[in-house]
Chains A and B, each alone.
Chain A
Amino acid sequence: MSRIIDTGLKELSATLYRMGELAHRAVLKALIECIEGREAHKEVREMADTLLAMADHIEDKAFELIARFQPVASDLRTIKSYMKIAYDFARFGRYALDISSINKQIGGLRNCEEWINSYVKEMSEKTSEMVRLSIESLKSHNTQIAEKISEKEKEVDRMYFEFLDELIKCGATTKCAVSSVLIVRYLERIADHAAYICESIIYIATGQKEVLR
């Protein structure tokens, strides 16, 4: 049975899905740029700005729904979570921009040690997989996919600390060290936010606040 609030909720989720797609593309672009050395800063910047604007729009729309329809129970949890997820997507955009800025500023990982490049590449793959998973779980409201992300998040965490250890042990050129540490740091944060998104999905479905990290 369709309710008045359903139209608003559909609009909200449609915008959120678009945000998710855009955030995913932004992250991918920034990572490819960084690994393969292609210049894409302007594009990534535009995407990040769009994501911020979309997050604002989603927040406004969510408050409008709350004021007008006094949603309760699952509707309320959905709206609350959508606002959080929108913020998380905006953060994806921000981190993508940060990564892209490093490329622009410092030159990325071109001509860096092989082991650094492969570490970053592996972490990038895992992270973008997490981003993809989080968006899929959002679209399908599937809590099982959401649960899977917990393992991946722990992996990315592990890799992050391992990398730091390795770097201290092995050392590297200053430029590479600085770039790679920053990039790996941003990757770890992106992974965290992907986990937050999945926590929100679980909260919508069950009302429980699980910690997946």
Chain B
Amino acid sequence: MAVKFDVQNLNAWFGSKHVLKNINMKIEENAVTAIIGPSGCGKTTFIRCLNRMHEITPGARVSGKVIFNGVNIYDNGVDPVIIRRKIGMVFQKPNPFPMMSIYDNVAAGLKLNGVRDKKILDAAVRRSLELANLWDEVKDDLKKSGASLSGGQQQRLCIARALAVQPEVLLMDEPCSALDPIATAKIEALIRKLAENYTVVIVTHNMQQAARVSDYTAFLYLGELIEYGPTEQIFENPKHELTERYLTGKFG
């Protein structure tokens, strides 16, 4: 299988606080990789380094390389805006654009990048909503406000919005933590479906979710990558004692 991200010696800081320490990891293409670990271990910071979102926080700094499609995204000539179009992101709390309809939300990425042709936009909106398993539920009224949907639907709307710009990767930061179990199950099924065509990296504090949904699991602790491997191996027979203790809940 091909490597989508080759992370080399990635370090990240918030001001003087060193939050990611020498991460080396190869993320597989068209697979789901889960990042797990206790609170504050740097999981969210890590994925935000993959699409250059970490640096928008004042005082944030990154060193090391993230090689994506053969190019180090942190090279001098690379425009982060272009990177972010290829690497989409979905956040913990669903955040559809307020005051915008469902249609406008999904089309936002395309419209704001200059696409005007209504036919293209219509097709893109439909395709994205179908990909996100939301089309059937909203197709009768795309003009409804994005905020009028339920939590689970809003999250799928955000996924559709991210998919509309046709990224290659989808980064998900605890996408289900604000949702009820049924909505969660729908999104997990969606993630498995998306993995056929996209590389998905999902941060989750729910170990069972990582076990259900991912092909590979990475365990981060205090900013370091402790263990990384196929999910069934990590969850049946972890090699590192820290991993074992975290998975069995023996962390003090």
Binding site for B on A (CB under 8 A): 1, 3, 5, 70-77, 207
Contacts and interface: CB of A to CB of B under 8 A. Distances in A.
B250 A72 contact: no
Nearest to A71: B248
Given A207-B236, A207-B237, A73 B252 contact: no
A77 B236 contact: yes
Contacts of A74: 244, 248
Contacts of B243: 73
Interface in B222-252: 235-238, 243-244, 247-252
Given A73-B236, A73-B244, A1 B250 contact: yes
B237 A3 contact: no
B38 to A, nearest CB: 14
B131 interface: no
Nearest to B246: A73
A76 B250 contact: no
B235 A72 contact: yes
A70 B208 contact: yes
A77 B237 contact: yes
Interface residues of B, number: 15
A74 B237 CA distance: 7
Interface in B193-229: 207-208, 211
Contacts of B248: 3, 71-75
Contacts of A71: 248
A74 B248 CA distance: 7
Nearest to A1: B252
Contacts of B249: 1, 3, 5
A79 B99 CA distance: 53
B211 to A, nearest CB: 7
Nearest 5 CB-CB pairings of A with B: A207-B237, A73-B247, A72-B235, A72-B247, A3-B249
Nearest to A207: B237
A74 B252 CA distance: 17
A71 B208 CA distance: 9
Contacts of A5: 249
A73 B245 CA distance: 9
Contact of A73 (B208, B235, B251): B235
Nearest to B212: A70
A71 B249 CA distance: 10
B252 A72 contact: no
A207 B240 CA distance: 12
B250 A3 contact: yes
Nearest to A203: B237
A68 to B, nearest CB: 12
A76 B235 contact: yes
Contacts of B235: 72-73, 76
Nearest to A5: B249
Nearest to B243: A73
Contacts of B208: 70
Nearest to A73: B247
25 contacts: A1-B250, A1-B251, A1-B252, A3-B248, A3-B249, A3-B250, A5-B249, A70-B208, A70-B211, A71-B248, A72-B236, A72-B247, A73-B235, A73-B236, A73-B237, A73-B238, A73-B243, A73-B244, A73-B247, A74-B244, A76-B235, A76-B236, A77-B236, A207-B236, A207-B237
B80 to A, nearest CB: 38
A62 to B, nearest CB: 16
Given A1-B252, A72-B207, 17 more contacts: A1-B250, A1-B251, A3-B249, A70-B208, A71-B248, A72-B211, A72-B236, A72-B248, A73-B235, A73-B236, A73-B237, A73-B244, A73-B247, A74-B248, A75-B248, A76-B236, A207-B237
A3 B252 CA distance: 11
A73 B208 CA distance: 12
